[in-house]
């Protein structure tokens, strides 16, 4: 154990010191944000001076309305850019997850659906695809061997025993085997 354990009082002192430094940094940051906001307001929002005549007031309102429209257009453009970027980030995250191979497969329910219905659900109603899986199978011809035929055509067992009974039957059996 190369590391020496710190006493609890020392640990508490260091923790309180770090918290006090962080508090000071947060206060400075809040002051900077407030100053930046005030500077921005001074640049973009001059002090309001209402005109005295009705004609001047109408021109001022038209100008104000025009500024509002321009700001709304900018807001809409920025909002669409943000949405597009968010969608792009989501797609890239999905690709990363797929490449990592740690994608958890969702539990699937059993659905009784024919291949045609499944293709129609996937491709939509525009594509009419008929998929007969049995039509694509190869035809296999079964060859029956002659030995199998002989084994199957044994015939009547009584006839077989009568032929082999007695000395003649045994003699025939030995003659046929050799």
For 130-147, how does the pLDDT look when each residue is reduced to its tens digit (9 = 90+)? 666 666 777 777 776 666
Do 153 and 144 meet the contact criterion of CB atoms below 8 Å apart?
no
pLDDT of 2 > 80? The answer is no
**Residue scoring higher pLDDT (145 or 80):** 80
Residue 169 has a pLDDT of 57
Report the distance separating Cα 28 and Cα 30, nearest Å.
5
The pLDDT of residue 84 is 96
Tell me the H-state helices in the chain: 8-44, 54-100, 115-123, 146-152, 157-164, 166-177
Encoding tokens for residue 137?
């199978």
0.75 exceeded by pTM: no
> CA–CA separation, 78 vs 73, rounded Å?
9
Number of CB atoms found within 10 A of residue 119's CB? 16
The percentage of residues in the chain with a pLDDT greater than 70, rounded to a whole number, is 70
Q: Return the higher-pLDDT residue of 87 and 102.
A: 87
41-45, 68-72, 82-86, 102-106: least confident range = 102-106
**pLDDT score for 140:** 74
Residues contacting 50, CB < 8 A, separation 6+: 57, 60
pLDDT, tens digit, 9 for 90 and up, residues 6-48: 889 999 999 999 999 999 999 999 999 999 999 998 888 877 7
């Amino acid at each position: 154990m190369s590391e020496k354990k710190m006493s609890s009082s020392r640990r508490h002192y260091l923790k309180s010191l770090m918290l006090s430094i962080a508090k000071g940094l947060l206060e400075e940051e809040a002051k900077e944000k407030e100053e930046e906001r005030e500077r921005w307001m001074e640049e973009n929002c001059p002090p309001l001076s209402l005109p005295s005549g009705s004609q001047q007031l109408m021109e001022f309102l038209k100008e104000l309305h025009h500024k509002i429209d321009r700001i709304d257009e900018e807001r809409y453009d920025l909002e669409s850019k943000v949405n597009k970027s968010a969608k792009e980030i989501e797609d890239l995250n999905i690709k990363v997850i797929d490449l990592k191979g740690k994608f958890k497969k969702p539990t699937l329910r059993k659905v009784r659906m024919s291949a045609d219905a499944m293709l129609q659900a996937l491709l939509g109603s525009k594509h009419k695809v008929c998929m007969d899986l049995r039509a694509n199978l190869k035809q296999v011809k079964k060859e029956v061997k002659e030995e199998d035929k002989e084994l199957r055509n044994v015939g009547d067992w009584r006839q077989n025993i009568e032929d082999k009974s007695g000395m003649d039957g045994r003699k025939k059996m030995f003659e046929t085997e050799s």
